Amino acid sequence: MVTTQKLYELFLNCPNGVGTDTRKDLSGQMFFALKGPNFNANKLALEAIKKGASFAVVDDEKYADNDKIFLVEDGLLALQDLARYHRKTWDFPVLGITGSNGKTTSKELIREALSAKFNVWATQGNLNNHIGVPLTILNCPKETDFAIIEMGANKIGDISELTSIALPDYGLITNIGKAHTEGFGGFEGVIRGKSELYQHLIETNGVVFINSTDEILSNMAKRFVNPIMYPAKGDYFECNFIEANPFVEYQPENMEIQTSKMLGSYNFINISAALCIARYFKVELSEACTKINNYEPKNNRSQIIKGKTNTVIMDAYNANPSSMAAALENLKAMPAKSKAAILGDMNELGETSQNEHLKIGEWLNNNGIQNVFFVGEKMSEAKATMQSAGSYKTVDDLIQYLQDNPISNSLILVKASRSIGLEKLEVTLKSN
């Protein structure tokens, strides 16, 4: 069995970091053969070497049949231990981010703001789990002088595990909402699980950034001697919300009103967090604002898509009761002669699922949005409280309907959990 120290010596001779997927370019990488319920990458180790990997790491002895293939007891634990070992060699700030909603958006905004001063490395895409966090650390470029590590969680203990690998010096919880309540065992479990980041920072004398307008988070701030608060008057960083019509306008302390390309009032707090962190690290505020104002969301996260007559709010990457409520409130607030909502299932809600989907129908009934389409088995529950809505088993069924009955001249919200695949509606909705 090879030790972590030996693996690290080998890793230092891999110019392109670490990989786990033989379908991608592995040239100059250390390949980790990971196992899952439906796959065993040990058998691909030799293939990885042939495709250019410098070394491969396996946890099945029968595949350690090459002088470039090294045996460990557990491939995943070896990957995590190597990442932790590498992280301990860093001498630059590491910011950990978690939360129920807005993690990725906040990460991107903070990256933009800090890039005015630092060479920033941040989690790529959604590599924020027990595999993604180690990969983020091990693939960090040498010229980096600030790292942002996004951490996701589905159950209690996940964030604790990830902080033990990423070892963040600084931390931000964007919010605590009704997400993954099934895995957490309810909303109280979500609070407990997300706050594991705070517990790590307390134990390591780290610095925490806290939204003072969030009742749950501001109450947790009492655990810290000197939390860095934002954005209310009297906080470390002050920022005023002006409006979101449709894009967020805001006014940082002692500056003119700024206009972003971020949709919806709910993104104001993400902008404020980014500016607070930028100020803490002595980034010129005007430069941080310029970076943020030029940032445009992508990857189906609150994207504005212009069609021939329609304007589409494409927010099909994720959904839970908290983010769905925020998106619907934003739809209500935006000016438009005609509005439509295409909403799909919210997953991982456990025993609260039916009730939470019923609430969506109730809200729509009470707020005057009549052109509504539900997609998926769970969201069909909302028909009981919004009987005028159309209901479709799959997104393909809805596409077929809309091709014969197109929506036109409307502001359309498209939102669901990623597995529903509502992004496939883009072509159909843009054509009208």
Question: pLDDT tens digits for 130-159?
Answer: 999 999 999 999 999 999 999 998 788 899
**Residue 100 pLDDT grade (very low, low, confident, very high; cuts 50, 70, 90):** confident
3-class SS of residue 52: coil
Q: What's the token pair of residue 378?
A: 């769970």
The domain 4-75: what is its CATH number?
3.40.1390.10
Residues with Cβ within 8 Å of residue 134, at least 6 apart in sequence = 18, 79, 80, 82, 83, 165
| 56 within 8 A of 69, measured Cβ to Cβ | yes
- pTM here? 0.86
Q: What is the mean pLDDT of residues 36-52?
A: 91
| pLDDT (0 to 100) of residue 267 | 93
Window from 91-105, 118-132, 179-193 with minimum mean pLDDT? 179-193
How many other β-carbons are positioned within 10 Å of the β-carbon of residue 230? 23
For residue 180, pLDDT over 60 is answered with no
Q: What is the mean pLDDT of residues 75-83?
A: 98
| pLDDT (0 to 100) of residue 182 | 59
The answer to whether 103 is annotated as binding is yes
Report the C-alpha gap between 109 and 272 in whole angstroms: 10
* Domain coordinates in residue numbering, the chain: 4-75, 90-294, 303-431
Q: Where are the alpha helices (DSSP H) in 88-180?
A: 103-114, 132-138, 158-166
For residue 77, pLDDT over 60 is answered with yes
CATH fold label, 303-431: Protein-Tyrosine Phosphatase; Chain A (3.90.190)
The answer to whether 100 is annotated as binding is yes
| 381 within 8 A of 210, measured Cβ to Cβ | no
The closest alpha carbon to 320, from 417, 202, 432, belongs to 417
Q: E-assigned strands of 232-279?
A: 239-244, 247-252, 258-263
- Is 4-75's fold the same as 303-431's? no
Report the C-alpha gap between 190 and 153 in whole angstroms: 9
Report the C-alpha gap between 122 and 99 in whole angstroms: 16
The answer to whether 104 is annotated as binding is yes
Length of the chain: 432
Report the C-alpha gap between 395 and 201 in whole angstroms: 43
3-class SS of residue 247: strand
**DSSP state, residue 300:** T
Q: What is the mean pLDDT of residues 31-52?
A: 92
pLDDT above 70 covers what percent of the chain?
97
Percentage helix, strand, coil, to 5, in the chain?
40, 20, 40
Question: What's the CA angle centered on 198, arms 129 and 232, to 5 degrees?
Answer: 110
For residue 19, pLDDT over 70 is answered with yes
The answer to whether 419 is annotated as binding is no
The answer to whether 181 is annotated as binding is no
The answer to whether 89 is annotated as binding is no
The answer to whether 105 is annotated as binding is yes
For residue 187, pLDDT over 80 is answered with no
Question: What's the CA angle centered on 321, arms 267 and 420, to 5 degrees?
Answer: 95
| 362 within 8 A of 385, measured Cβ to Cβ | yes
CATH fold label, 90-294: UDP-N-acetylmuramoyl-L-alanine:D-glutamate ligase (3.40.1190)
